[in-house]
Chains A and B, each alone.
Chain A
Amino acid sequence: MNESASHVFAVAKREWRAYFDSPVAYVFIIIFLMLAGFFTFSLAQFYEARQADLNGFFQWHPWLYMILVPAVAMRLWAEERRSGTIELLFTVSVTPLQALLGKFAAAWLFMLLALALTFTVPLTAVYLGSPDIGAIWSGYLGSGLLAGAYVAAGMFTSALTRNQVISFILAVVIGLFLILAGYPPVTDLLARWAPMWLVDGVASFSFMPHYEALQRGVIDLRDLVYFASVMVFMLFATQVVLKNKVGR
């Protein structure tokens, strides 16, 4: 393993353990699974709908992530800055890029673990009927990518401040924007005064069309590129913030 990779790995390992050394991981996973189940079985009426697909399960994920992912990500940098450990981290030959990749990997993997633990939902669908297995896999792919995009956004807001509450709120707002940007009430509001290209531009930022395509079982390279670019952009923005803010 080369040196940069080993730095990323060491930081990721520490972050991963930090989740499980405190009650955060367990509380989070339990709440996530309970809410996912509640939305699927009660609100979306999974049984009553008598349809062997997981739309009722996946459609709630953007909202669930909007609230829960910032809670996972808010600590990543705000805590380092508040407690001063960032001074330690950045004086032991670790670069900001290595550190942020490690933290991002740990937080995303943690979300993927939580997501993987929802496996009982597709198993239920398979047991009760014959759902489109391909659509389930692509739905999980979409949800995983969505989680990654939220984690990246949450990490960005975490780097902006040493206050975790502020980080949380900013991340929720960014998440809300990315959900609602393409939603008709929002685009209509914009369309009243903004030129069409701007409305389309804002709408194209939205998670939803990309996520819904994957949920339907359509794996389009453009959607994958969209999620990848949101993550890369947020990670890049985090790096810029870290380079400009740390210790100053």
Chain B
Amino acid sequence: MIKAKDLVKDFGPRRAVNGVSFEVEKGTVLGFLGPNGAGKTTTIRMVAGFLPPTEGTIHVKGIDVANDPVTAQKSIGYMPETTPLYEDMTVSGFLRFLAEVRGFRGTERNNRVDYAIERCFLQPVRNQTVDTLSKGYRQRTCLAQTLLHDPDILLLDEPTEGLDPNQKQVVREMIKEMAAERVVMLSTHVLEEVEAICTRAIIISAGKVVADDTPAALKTRSTQYNAVTLSAKGKDIVPTLEKLPNIGKVQSLENGKILAFPEKGQSIAAEILGAAQQHKWTVSDIKVDEGRLDDVFRQITATEDTKKKEVA
């Protein structure tokens, strides 16, 4: 439903986005990750039709966004990063205005507004003016606005930024529910969020896509992936483990536990358990690491940073 090809965006001499391409199909929750200033917001703004790309094209349901933003925007619900709202309006007045702009009148308009209010749990503040809202309610008011016209595509720029853990949970549940029949593209730098709700993650750094995969597959790139933490008593555990064929580095941790890394990401738990049986160690606990996204994130984006420094 979204097809971006070779997107480039220059702001004066600065290139914010440098050749980003991706395609997203229905049912996907795409997490758009990257360090601050990597070009996440700029890319989303281009998809939303707010900024025209310097080069490249974006098609939303087959419509070229730069050529015909008005039509493309009919299938898009967009929540900007700064959650802009008209401060002097009430929550329901604000939503009524946007419903009218989206072309709804009378009862239809009121129903749409009621639906969005209910969906985003805004009933307690519906008659409050926007400038009196807490951060969480502001966020949700801006999110509610994206649902008024039941769009096929939701673009959410940092939807849970600044929310407390409970509110985050609520918003995530909502996004998950909405995703089934739609495309949701959200930017974030909260990695647990990607694990919790995204079916696909794109990492961008310095304006380029540096990784594009499912969160689970990305985690396998972590050095921690399949590492085994072992709590055991016995003789010469560390030297014995080091000699096993598929095991790379072995560390003794401060709490008495032993951490063993696989050579090439293979599963090594069976081997370790085998060795434990053979040497009669008493194993009290064994844990296999699934890999960590933040680890991968740092690995990928840090190398990009160093590359940049080398070029400079």
Listed in ascending order, the chain A residues whose CB lies under 8 Å from chain B are: 3, 6-7, 10-11, 13-14, 17-18, 21-22, 83-88, 90-95, 246-248
Q: Contacts A3-B103, A14-B86, A84-B80 given; indicate if A95 touches B70 (C-beta within 8 A).
A: yes
- Give chain B's interface residues, CB within 8 Å of chain A: 11, 45, 48-51, 69-71, 73-74, 76, 78, 80, 82, 84-89, 93, 97-98, 100-103, 145
Expressed in whole angstroms, the minimum distance between the Cβ of A45 and any Cβ of chain B is 41
From A10, A18, A85, A91, contact of B50 by CB (8 A): A91
* B82 A84 Cβ-Cβ under 8 A: yes
Cβ of B195 to closest chain A Cβ, rounded Å: 29
Given the known interface contacts A95-B70, A248-B51, the answer about A13 and B84 at a Cβ–Cβ threshold of 8 Å is no
B102/A85 in contact, CB under 8 A: no
Is the beta-carbon distance between B102 and A92 smaller than 8 angstroms?
yes
Rounded to whole angstroms, the CA-CA distance of A204 and B87 in the bound complex is 42
Beyond A22-B88, A248-B51, whether A91 also contacts B101 by CB under 8 A is no
Q: What's the Cα separation between A92 and B70 when bound, in Å?
A: 8
Chain A nearest CB from B81 CB (Å) reads 9
The distance in angstroms between the C-alpha atoms of A62 and B176, with both chains bound, is 59
B11 touches A18 (CB 8 A): no
Given contacts A84-B82, A92-B98, 11 further A-B contacts (CB under 8 A): A6-B103, A10-B100, A14-B97, A83-B85, A85-B86, A87-B45, A88-B84, A88-B145, A92-B78, A92-B101, A93-B73
A79 to B88, CA, bound (A): 12
Question: How far, in angstroms, from A14 to B97 measured CA to CA in the complex?
Answer: 7
Do A84 and B84 contact each other (CB < 8 Å), given the known contacts A13-B100, A247-B50?
A: yes
Q: Could you jot down 25 A-B contacts, CB within 8 Å?
A: A3-B103, A10-B101, A13-B100, A14-B89, A17-B89, A18-B86, A18-B88, A21-B88, A83-B85, A83-B87, A84-B84, A85-B85, A87-B84, A88-B78, A88-B98, A90-B50, A91-B50, A91-B69, A91-B73, A93-B70, A93-B73, A94-B101, A247-B45, A247-B50, A248-B51
Name the CB-closest residue of A to B80: A87
Q: B87 → chain A, closest Cβ, in Å?
A: 7
Contacts of A93 in B (CB 8 A): 69-71, 73-74, 101-102
Query: Please, how many angstroms separate the alpha-carbon atoms of A91 and B78 in the complex?
Result: 7
Contacts of B45 in A (CB 8 A): 87, 247
Contacts of B71 in A (CB 8 A): 93
Q: Which 9 A-B pairs have the closest CB atoms?
A: A84-B84, A10-B100, A85-B84, A93-B73, A84-B82, A87-B80, A91-B78, A91-B48, A93-B70
B114 to chain A, nearest CB (A): 19
Cα distance, A3 to B105, chains bound together (Å): 12
CA distance A14 to B86 in the complex (A): 10
Q: Which residues of A contact B102 (CB under 8 A)?
A: 92-93
- Are B50 and A87 in contact, with the CB atoms below 8 A? yes
B52 to chain A, nearest CB (A): 9
Which of B70, B93, B101 is the one whose CB lies under 8 Å from A11?
Answer: B101
Most chain-B CB neighbours within 10 Å: which of A11, A86, A93? A93
B117 to chain A, nearest CB (A): 17
Give the complex CA separation of A91 and B76 in angstroms: 8
Q: How far is the CB of B53 from chain A (nearest CB, A)?
A: 12
B170: min CB distance to chain A, Å: 22
Please state if A7 and B82 are interface contacts (CB–CB under 8 Å). no
CB distance from A247 to the nearest CB of B (A): 5
> In the assembled complex, which residues on chain B have CB atoms less than 8 Å from the CB atom of A91?
48-50, 69, 73, 76, 78, 80
Q: Whole-angstrom distance between the alpha carbons of A21 and B48 in the complex? A: 30
Chain B residue numbers with a CB within 8 Å of A84 are 80, 82, 84
